[in-house]
Structure 1
Amino acid sequence: MESVVVVRYSEIGLKGKNRGYFEKKLIDNIRKIARPPEINKRYGRIIIRLKDMDFDEIKERLKYVFGIQNFSFAYAVSHDLNEIKEAVLKLLKLKLKNEKTFKVQTKRSYKQFPMNSQELSAHIGAFVLENFKELSVDVHNPDIIVGIEVKEKEVFVFVGKEKLNGGLPVGSSGKAILLLSGGIDSPVAGWYMMKRGILIETLSFLSPPFTSEKSKNKILELSNILSKYIPDNLKTWIVPFTPVQQYIKANAPDRYSLIIQRRSMMRIANKLAKKIKAKAIITGENVGQVASQTLENLHTIEAASNLPILRPLIGFEKMDIVEKAKEIGSYEISIQPYLDSCVVFAPKNPATKSSIKEIEDLESKLTELSNLEEKAFENIEKHVIGRKL
């Protein structure tokens, strides 16, 4: 009897001819994030052989692996009926608390097994009733489910399934830059895009000396939260943005200064994307949340980018974003009262509507803007955040 974890996925199973690529990426990510003693792909499942590793330890690490729909602690046994019964007995003694009803659910992909699924379920059900007098059968709404999967070389016996985040393995959908502001929204936006298989590198803009070292540390702490979901180290880039902002503030109409700043950020982000071969920019923008996030201003800002702008939170309620931030552990960091670059040079009465032509005409008069953006990019800082679990 061997202790294993049976890992299941859903969306990856729909990938057709590309399925093998996604499975391999998921296995690679499990290896790097969960660090199991042994892992195999078997029968449309991923099997982690625990050996001497504690289940609670692997369970804690697996929650950071996107692409897993659910998993179960299980015993792998031979086709011997007595071994199957022994595994069921051991698992129920381990798992039972105050449950009153159960059912047995069998999947038999190995058709040479002498009982069919229904017969094996009935046989094991009778065995459970004999050994656990407090339990009764309820096939419609049981308190606990005993699962049995009969495969060609072994049988997996488990009780219940633990749900995870699903999605696609990080790195399977390419690379993008997350504009990480230090607020509540952008870390959550990064989380959702990683769930769709995108490998992120983060880009932040700070305004020293107006923003302090604490603002920088806040960015690095948020990066550490996100790094837990990445199979390798997370690269965090920080741009000293003060000269660009001061120039815009001094030479552009104040009400349009934030929009022009945001367009500068997009151009610098595109420079970084070219360097690291990223294919998109991710933001935490949300329609109508602040002045720069009206439809007109979003359109004007994204026009400065040659790459697609991905906005996973565009239609979210603010409280839904806050709840997710609390769930992933970024909320308490995001609400620390340290300024970010947009707040430092915010206009008193920002424009809620703009046009691309209007802003481009204003930028054409800012003759030093392009040079200042280039210098800001040349002075970019790179931080490599190692995953800490």
Structure 2
Amino acid sequence: MEPVVVVRYSEIGLKGKNRGYFEKKLIDNIRKIARPPEISKRYGRIIIRLKNMSFLEIKERLKYVFGIQNFSYAYAVSHDIDEIKEAVKKLLSLNIKGKKTFKVQTKRSFKEFPMTSNELSAYIGAYVLEEFDNLNVDVHNPDITVGIEIKEKEAFIFVGKERLYGGLPVGVSGKAILLLSGGIDSPVAGWYMLKRGLKLETLSFLSPPFTSEKSVKKILDLADVLSKYTPDTLRTHIVPFTEVQQYIKSNVPDRYSLIIQRRSMIRIANKLSKKRKASAIITGENIAQVASQTLSNLRTIEDVSDIPILRPLIGFEKLDIIEKAKEIETYGISILPYIDSCVAFAPKNPATKSSIGELKEIEQKLDKLFELEEKVFNKMESYTLGRES
């Protein structure tokens, strides 16, 4: 009887000829993030042999691996019926507290096993009733389900399944640049794009001396949380944006200053994307949440980008974003009172409507804008975060 973890995936199983690539990437990511003693793909499952590692330790690590639908603590046993019974009894003894009903569900892919799936389920069910007086059968809505999978060379016995986030393994969908502010939304946006298999680098804009070293630490702490979901390191870039903002503040009508700032940020993000071979930009923008995020202004801002801008939170309720931020443990960092560049130079009455033509006309009169964007880009500081740093 060997303790193992049976790992299952759903969306990857729907892939066609490239399914093997996704499976290999998921196994590689589990190796790097969860660091199991032994892992292999067998019988359409990923099997982790625990050896001397505790289940609680591997369970805590697996929650950071995207691509896993659910997993079970299990025993790998031989086809011997007495060994199967022993594993069932041991697992139920560990999980029976507060449970009143059960069912047994068997999948027999190895057809040479002497019992059918239904026969084995009935046999083990009768055994459980004998061993546990407080349990009754309920095949429709049981408190606990005993799972038995009969494979060619061994059987896996487990109780229940622990659900994870699903999604795709990080790295299978390419690379994108996340515009990471110190707010609540952008870390959550990055989390959702990691879940869709994107590898991330982050880009932040600060305004020294109006923003302090505490703002830098805040950005790095947020990026560090996201790095836990990546199999490798996460590169974080911080641009000192003050000169650009001061120039815009002095030369642009106040109501348009924030939109021009955002267009500058997107141009700089495009520079970084080209340098770092990223194919998209991610933002935490949410339709009509603030003045710069009206449909009109979003269109005006994205006009300067040569690559797609992904907005995973565009239709979310703010409360849903907050709940997710709390769940992934970025909320407590995001609400720290250390401002980012947008707050430092926010206009009093920002425009809620703008046109591309009007903004281009304003920028044509800003002789030094593009030069300053290049200057601050060259002053960018980069950090490496994550498990290999």
Task: Return the TM-score normalized by structure 2.
Answer: 0.99
Matched AA of 1:105: Q
Give the aligned partner of residue 345 of structure 1: 345
Displacement after TM superposition at 1:387 (Å): 3.4
Q: Using the TM superposition, give the Cα deviation of residue 253 of structure 1 relative to its aligned residue in structure 2, in angstroms.
A: 1.0
Counterpart residue type for residue 9 of structure 2: Y
Aligned to 2:189: 189
| 4+ residue runs over 2 A deviation | none
Deviations 1:279-305 (A, max 9, x none): 000000000000000000000000111
2:366 counterpart residue number: 366
Aligned residue identity for 1:158: F
3-state DSSP class of the match of 1:235? strand
Report the Cα distance in structure 1 between the residues aligned to 2:382 and 2:338, rounded to whole angstroms. 21
1:16 Cα deviation from its structure 2 partner: 1.2
Partners in 1 of 2:326 and 2:91 — Cα distance? 34
Query: Corresponding residue for 2:158?
Result: 158
Aligned position for 1:229 = 229
Partner of 2:243: 243
Paired residue for 2:294? 294
Q: Any residues of structure 2 matched to 1:250-269 within 5 Å, and which?
A: 250-269=250-269
Alignment pair present for 1:41 and 2:41: yes
Following superposition, the deviation at residue 114 of structure 1 comes to 1.1
**SS state at 1:382 partner:** strand
CA distance in 1, matches of 2:12, 2:212: 44
Give the secondary-structure state (helix, strand or coil) at the position aligned to 2:306: coil
The answer on whether the counterparts of 1:108 and 1:150 sit within 8 Å (CA) in structure 2 is: yes
Q: Work out the percentage of aligned pairs sharing the same amino acid.
A: 78
1:105 correspondence with 2:105: yes
Segments of 5+ residues of structure 2 without an aligned counterpart are none
2: CA distance, partners of 1:101 / 1:348: 62
Q: How does 1:124-135 map to 2 (within 5 A)?
A: 124-135=124-135
Residue 316 of structure 1, CA deviation: 0.3
* Structure 1 counterpart of 2:276, one-letter code: I
The answer to whether the Cα contact below 8 Å between 1:233 and 1:386 also exists between their aligned partners in 2 is: yes
Q: Between Structure 1 and Structure 2, how many residues are aligned?
A: 388
Q: What's the CA shift for 1:18?
A: 1.2
Structure 1 residue 134: Cα displacement:
1.1
TM-aligned CA deviation for residue 51 of structure 1: 0.2
Provide the aligned C-alpha RMSD in A: 0.8
Where in structure 2 are the equivalents of 1:7-86 lying within 5 Å?
7-86=7-86
Which residue in the other structure is 2:271 paired with?
271
1:102/1:136 contact within 8 Å kept? yes
> Per-residue displacement from partner, 1:58-82 (whole Å, max 9, x unpaired)?
0000000000000000000011111
| Letter in structure 2 aligned against 1:279 | S
Is residue 2:332 matched to residue 1:332? yes
The answer to whether the aligner puts 1:377 opposite 2:343 as a matched pair is no
1:304-358 alpha-carbon deviations (Å, 9 max, x no partner): 1101000000000000000000000000100011111001111111000001110
User: Per the alignment, in what secondary structure is the counterpart of residue 177 of structure 2?
Assistant: strand
* Matched residue SS, 1:300: helix
TM (norm. structure 1) is 0.99
Return the letter of the residue paired with 1:15.
Answer: K
- One-letter amino acid of the structure 2 residue matched with residue 192 of structure 1: Y
Tell me, what secondary structure is at the counterpart of 1:336? coil
Give the structure 2 partner of residue 117 of structure 1.
117
Gaps of 5+ in 1: none
Q: Aligned partners of 1:251, 1:134: CA distance in 2, in Å?
A: 78
Other structure's SS at 1:16 match: coil
TM-superposed deviation, 1:267: 0.4
Deviation at 1:9, TM superposition (A): 0.3
Matches within 5 A, 1:315-326: 315-326=315-326
| SS of residue paired to 2:384 | strand
Give the Å deviation of 1:44.
1.0
Is the 1:224–1:387 Cα contact (8 Å) retained in structure 2?
Answer: no
Aligned 8 A contact 1:215 1:340 in 2? yes
Partners of 1:317 and 1:197 in 2: how far apart? 24
Whole-angstrom CA distance in 1 between matches of 2:308 and 2:379: 25
Deviation at 1:162, TM superposition (A): 0.3
* Contact 1:267/1:304 (<8 A) preserved: yes
SS of equivalent residue, structure 2 residue 115: coil
Q: Structure 2: how far apart are the matches of 1:144 and 1:293?
A: 47
3-state secondary structure, aligned to 1:220: helix
Paired letter, 1:372: L
Write the distance in 2 (CA, Å) between the matches of 1:93 and 1:342.
Answer: 56
Letter of the structure 2 residue corresponding to residue 7 of structure 1: V
Amino acid at match of 2:74: A
Match of 2:310 in 1: 310
Q: What letter matches 1:29 in structure 2?
A: N
Question: How far did 1:173 drift?
Answer: 0.6
Three-state SS of the structure 2 residue aligned to 1:12 is: helix
Q: Distance in 2 between matches of 1:160 and 1:123?
A: 19
CA distance in 2, matches of 1:230, 1:203: 16
- Distance, in Å, in 2 between the alignment partners of 1:141 and 1:125 is 15
Structure-2 residue corresponding to 1:386? 386
How far did 1:25 drift?
Answer: 0.6
Is 1:203 the counterpart of 2:203? The answer is yes
Q: What SS is found at the alignment partner of 2:287?
A: coil
Q: Deviations over 1:178-212 (max 9, x none)?
A: 00001000000000010101111100000000000
